[in-house]
Amino acid sequence: MSRLFAPTRVGAFTAHTSTWVPAMVPWRSTEEGDATPEVVDWYGRFADGRPGVLVVEATGIRDVPSGPLLRIGHDRFVPGLRRLTDEVRARSNGETRVLIQLIDFLRIRRRPDKAVYLGRFLSIEDRHREAVGLDRGAEDAAVRAALAALPHEELLAALSTREVEDLEFGARERVWDTHLEHIAELPRTLPGLFADAAERAVAAGFDGVELHFAHAYTMASFLSARNVREDGYGGDLEGRVRLPLEVLAAVRERVGPHVTVGCRMLGEEVIGGGTTLDEAAWFARRFAEAGMDFISISKGGKFEDAKQPRVGAAAYPYTGESGHECMPTVRIGDPGPFGRNLPLSAAVRRAVREVTDAVPVVGCGGLGTFREAEAALAEGTCDLVAAARQSLADPDWWRKMQLGRGDEVRRCIYTNYCEGLDQKHKEVTCQLWDRPDPGEGAPPPHAGSLRSSDGKRQLLAPRWDA
């Protein structure tokens, strides 16, 4: 039997194959964060391909409005999520194990209009008065007007680094903004919020949870080498890993030993002064020792190198180099996108194996063929193979390979049309769903007539009958 289709133990369950669909936000929830029928269909469609593990998108653990992102911050979300897990079980013939990715994120504002920023948001200090040649008694309004009259370069020179960023990119909270009470309190609030969310996940029928410790969000920021908190939750490696370990302990205590609890984390941040692979391997070893059931490795996806958004839009953490490394395209430099991030999971796996054989490592990034997947497992670069965009392009691809019908796989072309939709918070679809399959003259048969809200795109992958 191929390694890819061999079972693998993942904490409390055994995945029937070593295949994995990682989290992908499809923008199909309501503004209230509910699992709509479209959300349920989206996961049902992945379940048709019967992956070993299917991870539901980054799901907010707080009960606060967060646009059409799925949420699990209150018990009222449980029935909708239960429909989702029931659908996955029914459509995969009970074979696919389903996890939910639990996320916390800090506030990020849209890039403001310059006049609005200078007129309202900027808090005026004496250094601003000095910069525009006004004396200390000058009214705020006079300082605002003088700043607004400056040529742009001079204005930037009159502002602090953080103010320049607030103006040019939109204000963004950091985990080391401990002058803000709710941020100082994160070590007190987050373990309970993650534990509550995990308990709801179990009530909704999930086989476990994936703690989102990756990319641009709160927990990854605690792990980041840029984290300069001085309260014991930042600075050196022990300080940076402290809250993630406390979150894990709180979740484990709440759900017990018979529910799988793993995390997604970065093998490398890919930003100046960011976390290196050696540090990531050290974190992973600590997680494994502390009872993490799996470690899924991603790369980059940070705000620090994001492109400047247009006025009125928010920065998107997948626009800079770190973002490109996170979802590599065919335009990326050597050695190309295919299996590009496997050296990270390989190094993490080696580190984890020093302390335990029981914690599988999930590899991801540009994996889209049987040969690549099988080689990744044979070479020991990971224990389970995750494919996001290839599974989006063709959710049935796992079954097609398993049935020896690989020539029918609709192949992802890795140019990130889907990611462009994610960036605009539009319903995510694959550009290939609206094209004829290769070698065929007619458009593919579609699963129902569901179309995106702009009416232009199929909302689901074309149907395939085995």
Ligand X SMILES: Cc1cc2nc3c(=O)[nH]c(=O)nc-3n(C[C@H](O)[C@H](O)[C@H](O)COP(=O)(O)O)c2cc1C
Interacting residue with ligand SF4 among 250, 295, 387, 430 (CB under 6 A): 430
CA distance 245 to 254: 14
Please identify which residue in 155, 306, 327, 342 interacts with ligand X, judged by CB under 6 A: 327
Asked if 417 touches ligand SF4 (CB under 6 A), the answer is yes
User: What does the block give as tokens for 204?
Assistant: 């909704």
Q: Are strands 19-21 and 384-386 parallel, antiparallel or unpaired?
A: parallel
- Whole-number minimum distance, CB 85 to ligand SF4, in Å? 24
Residue 13: helix, strand or coil by DSSP? strand
Q: Is 397 in the site for ligand SF4 (CB under 6 A)?
A: no
The reply on whether position 413 binds ligand SF4 by CB under 6 A is yes
Tell me if 409 contacts ligand SF4 by CB under 6 A: no
Residue 191: which residues within 8 A CB-CB, separation 6 or more? 243, 246, 247, 249, 250, 251
Examine residue 269 and tell whether it contacts ligand X (CB under 6 A): no
Restricting to residues 131-190, name those near ligand X by CB under 6 A. Answer: none
Q: Between the CA of residue 306 and those of 69, 153, 181, 268, 321, what are the distances in Å?
A: 21, 21, 27, 16, 8
Name which of ligand X, ligand SF4, none residue 430 binds, using a CB cut-off of 5 to 8 Å depending on partner kind. ligand SF4
Q: Within 13 Å of residue 416, how many CA atoms lie on the same side as its CB?
A: 20
Nearer to ligand X, 39 or 418 (CB): 418
Q: Which range of residues in 16-24, 185-193, 252-260, 309-317 is near ligand X by CB under 6 A?
A: 16-24
Looking at the Cβ atoms of 6 and 330, the one nearer to ligand SF4 is: 330
- In sequence order, the 6+-apart residues with CB closer than 8 A to the CB of 213 are 219, 220, 223, 244, 263, 264, 265, 266
Using the contact rule CB under 6 A, the part of the chain among 20-28, 30-38, 116-124, 399-407 near ligand X is 20-28
Site for ligand X contains 264 (CB under 6 A) = yes
Residue 101 near ligand SF4 by CB under 6 A: no
- Least distance CB 416 / ligand SF4 (angstroms): 5
Q: Residue 387 in contact with residue 367, Cβ under 8 Å?
A: yes
* Beta pairing, strands 97-103 & 361-363: unpaired
The C-alpha atoms of residue 15 and residue 457 are separated, in whole angstroms, by: 33
Catalytic-role residue among 43, 217, 233, 414: 217
Residue 160: CB atoms within 10 Å: 11
Q: In sequence order, which residues have a C-beta less than 8 Å from that of residue 64 and are 6 or more positions away?
A: 73
Does the annotation mark 414 as catalytic? no
* Range in contact with ligand X (rule: CB under 6 A) among 19-27, 46-54, 197-205, 435-443: 19-27
Told to check if 240 binds ligand X by CB under 6 A, we report no
Select 171 or 413, whichever has its Cβ closest to ligand X. 413
Q: Which stretch binds ligand SF4 (CB under 6 A): 177-185, 264-272, 283-291, 427-435?
A: 427-435
Residue 112 or 323: the one with the smaller Cβ distance to ligand X is 323
Q: Note whether 244 and 213 are within 8 A (CB).
A: yes
Minimum CB–partner distance for residue 386 and ligand X (Å): 6
Q: Is 54 in the site for ligand X (CB under 6 A)?
A: no
Cβ density class 117-143: b for 16+ within 10 Å, e for less: bbeeebebeeebbebbeeeeebeeeeb
Q: What one-character-per-residue DSSP string does 127-138 give?
A: HHHHHTT--TT-
Q: Please report whether residue 69 would count as binding ligand SF4 according to CB under 6 A.
A: no
Token pair recorded at residue 272: 């100046």
Tell me the β-bridge partners of 401: none
Q: Which is nearer to ligand X, 345 or 390 (CB)?
A: 390
> What type of residue is 398?
W
Amino acid at 96: T
Shortest distance (Å) from residue 83 CB to ligand X: 20
Q: Calculate the alpha carbon distances from 213 to 74, 104, 269, 317 in Å.
A: 21, 9, 12, 15
Q: How far is the CB of 418 from ligand X (least distance, A)?
A: 5
Name the binder of 99 from ligand X, ligand SF4, none, CB < 5-8 A by kind. Answer: none
Q: In the stretch 379-418, what mask flags binding to ligand X with x, by CB under 6 A?
A: --------xxxx---------------------------x
- Catalytic residues, by residue number, are 217
* Interface positions with ligand SF4 (CB under 6 A): 389, 392-393, 412-418, 430-432
* Interface positions with ligand X (CB under 6 A): 22-25, 57-58, 101, 214, 264, 298, 327, 364-367, 387-390, 418-419, 422, 428
